[in-house]
Homo-oligomer: A and B are copies of this chain.
Amino acid sequence: MHIGKVVGNVVSTKKEETLTGFKLMIVELINHKNEGIHKELVAVDLVGAGRGEYVLVATGSSARVASGQKDAPIDATIVGIVDTFE
């Protein structure tokens, strides 16, 4: 998994049906020194994260599995809101 910070969201009306109802958040990945690592991704939010919050992101097939939608094209999910990382 990775630590990241929510920096925005994506609105997409014309999309795969199985993505309907999911919030699509833009997450900038960071390291444990809270430094950006020049990587960002769009993740489905499973825990109600908001802009500016630090989150835990899972990627790959594990992300799809967590979404509960085994046929959805989900390769990244927000699976936790981070209290602390040190």
Contact = CB atoms under 8 A, between A and B. Distances in A.
Nearest to A43: B1
Given A65-B70, A82-B10, A84-B10, A75 B47 contact: no
Number of identical protomers: 5
Name the interface size band of chain A: 35 or more
A67 B48 CA distance: 25
A15 B85 contact: no
Contacts of A58: 73-75
A80 B17 CA distance: 9
Interface of A: 1-3, 7-16, 18-19, 24, 26, 31-32, 37-38, 40-43, 46-48, 56, 58-66, 70-77, 79-86
